Structure 1
Amino acid sequence: IMRQAREYCAQSGAPKLTIVDPWYDLDSYIAWHATRIKEELATGSYDKIIMSYHGVPERAVHEPASYRAQCERTTHAIMERVGDIPYEMTFQSKFGPGKWLGPATIDRMAELPGEGARNILLLTPGFFADCIETLQEIDSQNQEVFKAAGGVEFRRIAPPNADATAGQMLADIYRDAVA
């Protein structure tokens, strides 16, 4: 997608656009998530942390290996700051035919209680703001599946949304894009 956007912008007569490179390793974003997790861990006990990212089809055009690697780097960077607690990375929002990156978040919600993870803390680092995929799909559908499978505590950390530091994170992203 980034390559196609750059090719479009290079065409004669194309509007001037600023293409923002992926910011999966932005320090302020990593720190924000790690801080939120630590705050939750200080007030609750969780068997596992789940980091759910938006899924993509495994077709080559979507560069799934590169995307998965970016999600893994984000996840590991966050957890390096959090400490030693079990965690895993999943993918949500599958629609349409074909194989998608996995494991699917909703499938893991059905399996986790049987594996002993009955109290989970879930976050969606790929989302900067809440949307139907976080509010409906995660908060409602995935939580229902988790609890129906024997899960007890399902806690989601909301994305930055309008957090006081969100504006600075966006400024960091923009500054890096125009530097």
Structure 2
Amino acid sequence: MTSAHAPADHPAIKPGKTGILIANLGTPDGYDYWSMRRYLNEFLSDRRVIDYPAWKWQPLLQGIILTKRPFTSGANYKLIWNEERNESPLMTITRDQTEALRARAAAEWGDQVMVEFCMRYGNPSTREVLDRMIAAGCRRIVFLPLYPQYAGATSATANDQLFRALMEQKWQPSVRTCDPYFDRPDYIAALADSVRRVLGDRKPGRLVASYHGMPKRYLTEGDPYHCQCQKTSRLLQQALGWQDGIIDTTFQSVFGTEEWLRPYTVQHVAHLAQQGVGDIAVISPAFAADCIETLEEINGEIRESYEHAGGKDFTYIPCLNADAAHIEVMMGIIRDNIGGWVSPA
């Protein structure tokens, strides 16, 4: 039934649109204790992130962890906070990415599309944004989690949250979820260009590709993340034309006592310094936007580990963020998934 043929008392029917919804991990609303506690509670209660039984994990989380960690995490966020906009850098960058995508999509498809972003944890929530898009008439949605490499604790939980939100809809839109893009040629080329842009013609003693870590057990249980990280590093090396052994794949942000994927970045850079590698660069190919793990952990804790061990020259290569090449990568992924739903403007 169209609005033209509906009876006078029929609810209004919006013209059909196609929605493009990008999703990132999330951010606290502020670095104060209660903002941090709310955010950490949602994040660390996700069974995709921490899969211990609730009877074992929740007392520890609600008692010890959420009593202490909001203070330390809040202090770290304060170091990088965008005070002008009163938001974290991740929020600023994700909004900038969305605005750039919105302009590119409008130029290509006109008013047939609506481009928005959501966060898996914190605000704007997946449910809130999905409700708004459906209310605006989106009957089809392309959902793009901003994780180049697939992991259950990132891509899968973003999809989970979208599906949970869809369960509450009376009239569900059609949805297409996007594949990870760890080996897309345009993504690898954008990474390589970002290295050249920062380093110029200089080749460091070692380029450390630092990916977010996960428990080693997840790999043995079938998660493909580790393998996809290794492939991204290998393809990046080939794109740069560098010899074997100059790029190391490492993992950061270790949490808890369980063994995680190795080598750990913070230990590895210290080992490089002790071996006499006095010039390293660090890149974070698993992050689509600079955030607490890159701006504070890599440029803080990991840099300090390297320099304290005797390293001399440490260069951080920023994430692709809202760089034009990165926006084109996203547009390429969207084009691959939007076929048949829109036509050129």
Normalised by the size of structure 2, how large is the TM-score?
0.47
Among candidates 298, 302, 309, match of residue 142 of structure 1: 302
Report the CA distance shift for 1:57/1:153 in structure 2 as closer, same or farther (over 3 A): same
Q: Secondary structure at the match of 1:161?
A: coil
Paired residue type of 1:169: V
Among candidates 335, 338, 343, match of residue 175 of structure 1: 335
**1:57 CA displacement:** 1.0
* Matched positions, count: 179
What residue is the counterpart of 2:89 in the other structure? none
Q: Is the 8 A contact 2:219 2:226 kept in 1?
A: no
1:22 aligns with 2:147: no
- The separation in 1 between residues aligned to 2:198 and 2:156, in whole angstroms, is 39
What residue is the counterpart of 1:57 in the other structure? 215
Paired residue type of 1:81: A
Q: Which moved more, 1:34-43 or 1:78-87?
A: 34-43
Q: Which moved more, 1:84-93 or 1:134-143?
A: 84-93
Report the CA distance shift for 1:12/1:148 in structure 2 as closer, same or farther (over 3 A): closer
What residue is the counterpart of 2:313 in the other structure? 153
Q: Is the 8 A contact 1:56 1:64 kept in 2?
A: no
Q: Is the 8 A contact 2:219 2:225 kept in 1?
A: no
Q: Secondary structure at the match of 1:159?
A: coil
- The separation in 2 between residues aligned to 1:61 and 1:114, in whole angstroms, is 30
**1:13 CA displacement:** 5.8
Q: Which moved more, 1:110-119 or 1:146-155?
A: 110-119
User: Runs (4+) of structure 1 moved beyond 6 Å?
Assistant: none
Query: What RMSD in Å do the two structures reach over aligned CA positions?
Result: 2.7
Report the CA distance shift for 1:74/1:63 in structure 2 as closer, same or farther (over 3 A): farther
Q: Is the 8 A contact 1:50 1:90 kept in 2?
A: yes
- The separation in 2 between residues aligned to 1:12 and 1:128, in whole angstroms, is 28
For the pair shown, which has the larger CA radius of gyration, 1 or 2?
Answer: 2
Q: Percent identity?
A: 33
**1:64 CA displacement:** 6.3
Unaligned runs of 5+ in 2: 1-151, 340-345
- The separation in 1 between residues aligned to 2:320 and 2:167, in whole angstroms, is 37
**1:170 CA displacement:** 1.3
- The separation in 2 between residues aligned to 1:96 and 1:178, in whole angstroms, is 41
What residue is the counterpart of 2:192 in the other structure? 34
1:107 aligns with 2:271: no
Give the number of the structure with larger relative contact order, counting CA–CA contacts within 8 Å between residues 6 or more apart: 1
Unaligned runs of 5+ in 1: none
- The separation in 1 between residues aligned to 2:293 and 2:273, in whole angstroms, is 22
Q: Secondary structure at the match of 1:90?
A: strand
- The separation in 2 between residues aligned to 1:90 and 1:29, in whole angstroms, is 20
